[in-house]
Amino acid sequence: MIVFCLVGTFNFHCLSETKLQTRCPPAWLAFEDHCYLYVREAKTFNEAETHCMSLSKPRRSAHLVSVENQQENNFMIDCIQAIGTGDFWIGFTDQQSEDLYTWTDGTSSQFTNWDTNQPNNAERNQHCAYIKSNGKWNNKECSSLKSYMCKKNGFKISCLTL
Ligand SMILES: [Ca+2]
Ligand SMILES: [Ca+2]
C-alpha cells in the first residue's frame, strides 16, 4: 500500500495518517486552522503589523493575531506560559475610528476579553490592544514597543491511499 499526502501542488509522503492536519512553517505553532508566530523583538503596533504582513504567502496572508474565541484566547495564554513572555500586541485597533475596534486581518468576530475597565483610552491616546500574561486585553499607545504574535492560515494535508 502506498500512501501520499497532497498539499496543494506539493507531495509529501506520510505513513498511515488519514485525518487532516494543520501544517505550519518552521517556528510557527499550529492551533485549529491557523499558524502562529511569536516575535520577541519589540516593535510599535504598526511596525509589528507590517512585519507580520511581510510574512504572507499566496492565499495565506499574515497579520497580527486575531483572537476569535475563548479557545483561541486560551491558546494565547498557553503560548505566554510556554514561552515565558509578557505582554504582546494583538491585531485589534481603533486607530481608524475611536471606540470601533477592528481586527487587522479583517476577522469579524465579536469576541473580546478586555481587562476590567478596559479599553479606557487613557489620555485619549490608546488605540492598540495587547494581551497580558493573564490573557486579558488592554489598550495602549500604538507607539509603545512590544513583542507580538502573527497569525496566518495553515495548510491542510490530506492523504490518499493508492
Ligand atoms: Ca482608542
Ligand atoms: Ca488602556
Task: Tell whether 68 is covered by a domain.
Answer: yes
Task: Tell whether 151 is covered by a domain.
Answer: yes
Q: How far is the CA of 4 from the centre of ligand 1 (A)?
A: 50
Task: Tell whether 12 is covered by a domain.
Answer: no
pLDDT tens-place string over residues 48-91:
999 999 999 998 999 999 999 999 999 999 988 888 878 999 99
Task: Tell whether 13 is covered by a domain.
Answer: no
Q: How far is the CA of 81 from the centre of ligand 2 (A)?
A: 23
Q: How far is the CA of 2 from the centre of ligand 2 (A)?
A: 56
pLDDT tens-place string over residues 97-120:
999 999 999 999 999 999 999 999
Task: Tell whether 63 is covered by a domain.
Answer: yes
Distance (Å, whole) CA 35 – CA 6: 19
pTM score = 0.85
Q: Which ligand is closest to the CA of 125, given by its number? A: 1
Side-chain-side CA neighbours of residue 15 (13 Å)? 1
pLDDT tens-place string over residues 141-162:
999 999 999 999 998 876 554 4
Task: Tell whether 30 is covered by a domain.
Answer: yes
Total structural domains in the chain? 1
Task: Tell whether 93 is covered by a domain.
Answer: yes
Distance (Å, whole) CA 99 – CA 119: 8
- Domain carrying residue 105: 25-155
The CATH number of whichever domain residue 50 belongs to comes to 3.10.100.10
